[in-house]
Amino acid sequence: MVTKLIILLVIVLGVVAIAQMMRVYELSSKITKKNEHEISNRDNRLNAKLMLTFMIVFFVSVVYLILHYGWVGRGTAASVHGRDIDWLMNLNLIIIFAVFFLTNALLYIFAFKYVKKPGVPALYYPHNNKLEMLWTVVPAMVLAVIIILGLKTWNEATDEASAESIRIELFSKQFDWTARYAGKDNVLGKFDYKLTLDNNELALKTTATIDSAIRMMEEGPMGIKTLEAKLNDRNIILVPEERAKMEADLSRKERLIRLLYQMKQKHDTKDDASAWDDFIQKDTLYLCKGKEVEFNFRSKDVIHSAFFPHFRAQMNTVPGLTTRFKFTPDVSTAEMREIKGDDKFNYVLLCNKICGGAHYKMKMMVVVLEEDDYNNWVKGKMTKTFRDTYFPVMEEVATPEAPAEEVAEGGEEQENV
């Protein structure tokens, strides 16, 4: 409290001090009969010199920043197209720094040199078509080069992935990432957000998951039957708001269940296999050095953005839409640690689209393995496919009832809105 008072006091006294200085200044200008709109030669020259000084200080600091921080932060690119982007970036930086230094220098030097000198009139020089043509055509030509090179790199970076590239889905939600690898067949199984349950977080679409979603929606703890029973039970007295909320919930679920039944009818059981062999990976994303990888991006709630700063890769994840990006990592984590001289370094996947309070913490570590290590890791994961985790006790109890119970338990949290 005392500090706040002192701060206030200092501010007030500061304002009073400036006001007094102004008065003194005004009185002195009255004595010298100086008017505020007549800028003295002394002031003009002072500011002209300051313009030049500022330019020098500014340029020196810019050069210092370039040398000290320029290319340090992100290091060399760790992907094939990333190096093309870096090359193009450097070329562009050279061009724009040349323009920056040249035009700013002209500006501040003119500002210094052509300050008013008593008796020297300004030159009446309203236009010159040749000059104007010159600075229309030259920038246009430089831009043509920039555009052509830029589009070439852009087209390569956004081209279709090759058939043998590794397929991975990155699933985003507030505030973490989940990866799904395409498994043995290298085909990602289909999904539908309405199938989301605790034991099927990525909402993969198979005959069994559709059935259990329907069962949950109808008979789960907050399912349609329970809601109807509660709403129709005369022994339960509900607060009007509570009732309205439950009715809204019920009508929402009735709409969803119709869609689920439609899905069940249209579902092709042949699609099941491509989903069952997928495997899901959290916390760390493993990639294979030298192998192209194609990411499919999904979002559960709001827009996120998958940003791999070290691979120069970025793509938004949009709810209701699958987006894609492909790249080939070609520097393994171990190699990059050596290059950086930092044995704790890791590649990372960050969220780069504002997505809520903990946006800044939404990340996933990325590890690039040598091909053999990667294959070994995949082999290990093949024993924990989606089918294995979905039917954990399949070997012993081969009844379709097993997953249903599992769902009923887990579903409680899910549906407790």
Query: Binding pattern to another protein, positions 195-224, x when CB under 8 A?
Result: -x----------------------------
The full length of the chain comes to: 417
Report H helices in 233-330: 240-266, 272-276
Q: Which of 26, 185, 233, 409 binds another protein (CB under 8 A)?
A: 26
- The CA distance from 334 to 163, in Å, is 28
Q: Which of 52, 59, 62, 238 binds another protein (CB under 8 A)?
A: 62
From the list 168, 263, 281, the residue with the least C-alpha distance to 206 is: 263
The distance of closest approach from Cβ of residue 359 to another protein in the complex, given in angstroms and rounded to an integer, is 7
The distance of closest approach from Cβ of residue 278 to another protein in the complex, given in angstroms and rounded to an integer, is 19
- The CA distance from 386 to 209, in Å, is 11
Question: Stretches 228-236, 385-393, 395-403, 407-415: which one binds another protein (CB under 8 A)?
Answer: 407-415
* 339 is an interface residue for another protein by CB under 8 A: no
* 340 is an interface residue for another protein by CB under 8 A: yes
Q: Which of 80, 231, 246, 348 binds another protein (CB under 8 A)?
A: 348
* 107 is an interface residue for another protein by CB under 8 A: yes
- The CA distance from 121 to 135, in Å, is 27
Which two structure tokens, joined as six digits, stand for 27?
């009185």
* 103 is an interface residue for another protein by CB under 8 A: yes
Which two structure tokens, joined as six digits, stand for 401?
């009832």
Residue 384 CA, distance from chain mean position: 30
- The CA distance from 157 to 313, in Å, is 9
* 73 is an interface residue for another protein by CB under 8 A: yes
Q: Which of 20, 56, 76, 114 binds another protein (CB under 8 A)?
A: 114
Residue 144 or residue 397: which is nearer to another protein going by CB? 144
Residue 273 or residue 414: which is nearer to another protein going by CB? 414
DSSP H/E element including 324: strand 323-327
Residue with tokens 């590890």: 367
Q: Which of 6, 10, 22, 56 binds another protein (CB under 8 A)?
A: 22
* 123 is an interface residue for another protein by CB under 8 A: yes
* 320 is an interface residue for another protein by CB under 8 A: yes
The distance of closest approach from Cβ of residue 98 to another protein in the complex, given in angstroms and rounded to an integer, is 9
* 359 is an interface residue for another protein by CB under 8 A: yes
The distance of closest approach from Cβ of residue 383 to another protein in the complex, given in angstroms and rounded to an integer, is 29
- The CA distance from 306 to 315, in Å, is 5
- Phi and psi torsions of 79, nearest 5°: -140, 165
- The CA distance from 373 to 144, in Å, is 45
Spatial strand order of the sheet with 166-173 comes to 279-282, 176-181, 166-173, 293-299, 323-327
The Cα angle at residue 308 between residues 306 and 311, in degrees rounded to 5: 140
Question: Stretches 107-115, 238-246, 271-279, 389-397: which one binds another protein (CB under 8 A)?
Answer: 107-115
Residue 314 or residue 382: which is nearer to another protein going by CB? 314
Question: Stretches 204-212, 224-232, 320-328, 380-388: which one binds another protein (CB under 8 A)?
Answer: 320-328
The Cα angle at residue 287 between residues 282 and 291, in degrees rounded to 5: 150
Scanning residues 239 to 298, which ones bind another protein (CB under 8 A)? 252, 255-256, 297
